[in-house]
Structure 1
Amino acid sequence: MIYDVGVVGAGFGGLAAAATLAKKGMKVAVFEASNELGGSAGKFERNGYRFQSGATLGMGFEEGGVLHRLFDQLNIDPPAMTLLDTIMDIHMPDRTIHYFRERSRWYEEIQRVFPTQSSAIQSFYDEVYRVGAIVDQLTEDLPVFPPRTLKDFMHLVPFVNKDAMKLLPFMNQTVEDRLKKYSLHNHRLFRVFLNGELMDSVQTSVEYCPAFLGYAALQTFHKGAYAVHGGLAAVAERLASFIKHSGSDLYMRHPIHKVEKSGQHFEFHTKRDRVFRAQKALLNNSVHNFHDTVSKEMGEQSYVKALKEEKRDSWGAFIIHGGVEGAVFEGEDAMYHQFIDPQKPDDLHDGGQFLMSLSDPRDSSMAPVGKRSLTISTHTSISPWWNSEKYEADKEQMKNRLLDTVDFYFPSFKEKLDIVLPGTPITFQKWLRRKNGKVGGYAPTGKYSWLNSYSIRTGIPDVYQCGDTVFPGAGTLGVTLSGMTAAKEMTR
């Protein structure tokens, strides 16, 4: 059999693309190396707990949102989920900020937390909402960006309108440049807060984040944040079920070690010495892995250059999966918590700031009765983990730093822990096959860094790519959008 499309990787991008293609009547084969769906938004189970591999916060399910549109197009129901009034609590050394979804409540919180600068911060957020809405409108039609071909440029012509022109100033400035307009660039507390949100969503700080990308990410939090019952893996499972029921195939534990051109089709070679064939290929296994996946001949045709790839900035993650007695957080409404290390509040990585996701206490699929599963994650520099002669000691030290910080804000947390499973970039390479443990796409490095983004095109005819290393980048929404864009181009 020769499939219409072969998809490497069952992350959100690959599954969104495969489901879209299957809906259009194409015969698709999805190849996943592990025995779990969802990639970095997947799950695993241990000792009665269900843990989320990486991404945990559900977004894009509001009316008109990316995943809402996808499920509508497929005519299937999303899994059960809880809409969060409090997106997260941000715990700082001298205060806790309640990050509310609803704009009016968030502005009231700004007044409470930043009383002397509340007017300027609210004006800044007015701009965030306005610009973010323009970005949403432009990406809704799934244009290929950055454009690579004449057709890509032609398809962008309809977007050159009055609203798009309003976006131009934000495409050549950073978020910090915009903060200067409101005299907020030297407001240390607000910068600490904003850096935490941008590191979580765009992988960088106000100093280096292109304004339009940062604004799009910041306003997304306020459109709808959800705790998905069963974790984000439940979303992946719904998409996979649709793919199989549509007559396409999903091959778990089928790592692809080479894709090569053979005549008029592509051959997908698995580690099981099986060969599958398809007319087109979609790679959802990260650009970092590109040259390890395609044949040398295909790699030489591509825009993706191996030497350039090695030099590009990207984070790793240090992660802790754990189980804890629910009583520790009794009375706490928030299920998502961001922590700022009270000793080093300006550190943006390696434990200086990090996110903790708690399972919904009403979701019995995530933890035993009276317990809650949790995921703690912080950005980390990659190379020290690979070069360290004291790897285990470093892992223990980082684990303790994170747990101690949570215990500082929630006394008795450490003594109520039931299970603790730390992981490093080496863990991510082993279990998720992320080369060198790189996760979360590319870290923006300045106002024009978006021009160095990869589009869904690889430069190889009929070979496309999607995922967190493809524009619009990291996060389940960006990844899903890139998969939907690739599917659209394949069926033009």
Structure 2
Amino acid sequence: MECDVLIAGGGISGLTAAAFLAERGLEVTVAEASSEWGGCAGKFQRGPFLFPAGATLGMGFEQGGIHQRLFEKLGISFPYALPLETVMGIHTPAGYLEYKQNRTRHLEELGNMFPEAAERIVSFYQEIWKIGSEVKKLLGTLPVLPPASLRDIGDLLFSLKPSSVTVLPYFYKTVGQLLKKHRLHELFGFVHLLDAQLIDSMQTDSANCSAIMGAYALTIYHEGAFYIEGGLNRLAHVLSTAAKNSGAILEKRTWIQSVTQNKAGMFFATDQKGRRWTAPHFISTVPVQNLLELMDEPLKKKIGLRYEKKAQSRQWGTMTLYLAVKEDIIPDGTPLFQQVLTDEHGQMAEGAHLFLSLSSKEDRLRAPEGYRTLNVSTHTDLALWDTKEKYDAYKKQLRHKMIDGVKKALPLIEKGIVKEEIGAPKAWERFTKRKDGMVGGLPQTLDHALFNSLSHRTGVKGLWVCGDSIFPGAGTAGVSVSGYHVYRSIMRALGRRYL
């Protein structure tokens, strides 16, 4: 089977690239290994209950946001994003506060919890939001980092504004250094709160998070956070429909097992059933670890050692409880998104940090009247799951610890559960085909962020990569940008106009 572009993976990045490329008239085939579109933003059904597989909190749907801008380019609408006044409720050993979208109210909440440091917290956030604002301007033209061509360099220079020079001093700083500058590094409760936001968005803590990427993430929380009716799988549905309507061929349960390139530059990919595709352009959306397993040795040598080094980087796994619960055990006014922090020493994984995502009372796509669906997730070290004996025992242990944590937000949770599924790392590996069940992409530390990130260009003509291993990183907005970058570069390579 022949096509112009073969895309391995039907997650958000692959579907974004597919929708744009097909709209320009290219023959596009998307090969998705699972039976669902969306990857980590996919879904599954259990009876009358629909569960988002992973990602739940919507970002980038505001006016001028990444998703809104890409939809506008494609001429499609997305009426399913509902803005959140309260981004999330946060339960900590020091007390409870609500993370408000409004900046003034957010600072008031923090000032009430940490009155002794209120002025320092304000000055810290003023600096964070100033950096974040400048980064948002820089990213406005969707430049590529690290630049891998003269055109990339030109795009980056074009994106610079006179005020852009103000972010230069932060390129090699961490959020932790900014905390120290504002004498907040020893205010443990505040650092704990900040770590909780960054582990979910940047996959690392404040001590190690790139100051620029961390500032951008902490700014975006206040630009617009959204509840998506039916779940973030709606994004995959809209993109896959757009791609199909433009003529793309979308194949589920089609798992690309190998890819080679001949001397003429054509790619040959084979799936689990032995079916073969030929294309001059091959796009991989899978984590870098999976990509290396796909390629034959000559292709690995062509892309060099940079990918192998990145593949050795530590990435998180997750364990998620998928619960269907009775409506009457949920207190009035409960935020749809919550974090529960239980460890007094600031641990950010293994059930000490939980992210809760509750379906809206009115969302009939996720649960029938009188019920809600609830996702409860925690980061976990994949080394704790590497043998069957460890796996089975730890799954029970961690489930018990997570339910205890949920009780801090929903005290009657055990009385309300009517359906339960557990998604431990092997389940994630089966569902998404991601090696060992890793999620979230590379942590946005100084070693992996910005100019140290992986470009969508591999250095091999016709071989492109996108997804959460690639700049600008994880999250549906981030992977959408990487998919758009691939589309734009392919169109330029073909000498064609692009949106």
Shift of 1:274: 1.4
Matched residue type, 1:173: K
Deviations 1:184-218 (A, max 9, x none): 11111100100000001001111100100100111
Q: Conserved in 1, the CA contact under 8 Å of 2:145 and 2:451?
A: no
Which residue pairs with 2:319 in the alignment?
Answer: 318
Alignment-derived partner of residue 189 in structure 1: 189
Which piece of structure 1 moves more, 111-120 or 32-41? 111-120
Partner SS, residue 285 of structure 1: coil
Amino acid at match of 2:245: H
Cα distance in 2 for partners of 1:443, 1:348 equals 14
1:34-433 alignment, distance < 5 Å = 34-262=34-262, 263-303=264-304, 307-341=308-342, 343-387=343-387, 389-433=389-433
Distance in 1, matches of 2:226 and 2:189, equals 27
Change over 3 Å in CA distance of 1:383–1:44 after alignment to 2: same
Q: How high is the sequence identity, in percent, across the aligned residues?
A: 35
Q: Distance in 2 between matches of 1:18 and 1:304?
A: 28
Letter paired with 2:277: F
Q: Which deviates the most, 447-456 or 47-56?
A: 447-456
By how many angstroms is 1:125 displaced?
Answer: 1.4
Q: CA RMSD in A?
A: 1.7
Provide the C-alpha distance between the structure 2 equivalents of 1:388 and 1:306, rounded to a whole number of angstroms: 30
418-427 vs 304-313, which moves further: 304-313
Q: Does the Cα contact within 8 Å between 2:138 and 2:160 map onto a contact in 1?
A: no
Cα distance in 1, alignment partners of residues 298 and 268 from structure 2: 13
**Unaligned 5+ residue runs, structure 1?**
none
- The TM-score normalised by the length of structure 2 is 0.95
Q: Secondary structure at the match of 1:338?
A: strand
Partners of 1:291 and 1:172 in 2: CA distance: 29
Distance of aligned partners of 1:131 and 1:207 in 2 relative to their CA distance in 1, 3 Å threshold: same
Q: Do the aligned partners of residues 6 and 310 (structure 1) sit closer, same or farther apart at CA in structure 2, a change above 3 Å counting?
A: closer
Contact 1:208–1:447 (8 Å) recurs in 2: no
Partners of 1:330 and 1:161 in 2: CA distance:
48
The answer as to whether partners of 1:404 and 1:414 remain within 8 angstroms in 2 is no
Shift of 1:79: 4.2
Task: Deviation per CA, 1:360-390: give whole Å up to 9, x if none.
Answer: 1101010122111111111110112013623
Structure 2 contact 265–462 (Cα < 8 Å) conserved = no
Cα distance change of structure 1 residues 447 and 176 upon mapping to structure 2, 3 Å threshold? farther
Tell me how far apart the structure 1 counterparts of residues 450 and 350 of structure 2 sit (CA, whole Å): 25
Does the 8 Å contact 1:172/1:448 carry over to 2? no
Structure 2 unaligned blocks of 5 or more: 493-499
Tell whether the 8 Å contact from 1:175 to 1:207 is kept in structure 2 after alignment.
Answer: yes
TM-score by length of 1: 0.96
CA distance in 2, matches of 1:444, 1:265: 34
Gap change, CA 1:106 and 1:408, over 3 Å in 2: closer
Q: CA separation in 2, counterparts of 1:27 and 1:231? A: 30
Deviates more, 1:70-79 or 1:228-237: 70-79
- Quote the Cα distance in structure 2 between the aligned partners of 1:94 and 1:304: 46
Amino acid at match of 1:290: L
The Cα shift of 1:308 comes to: 2.2
Partner SS state of residue 77, structure 1:
coil
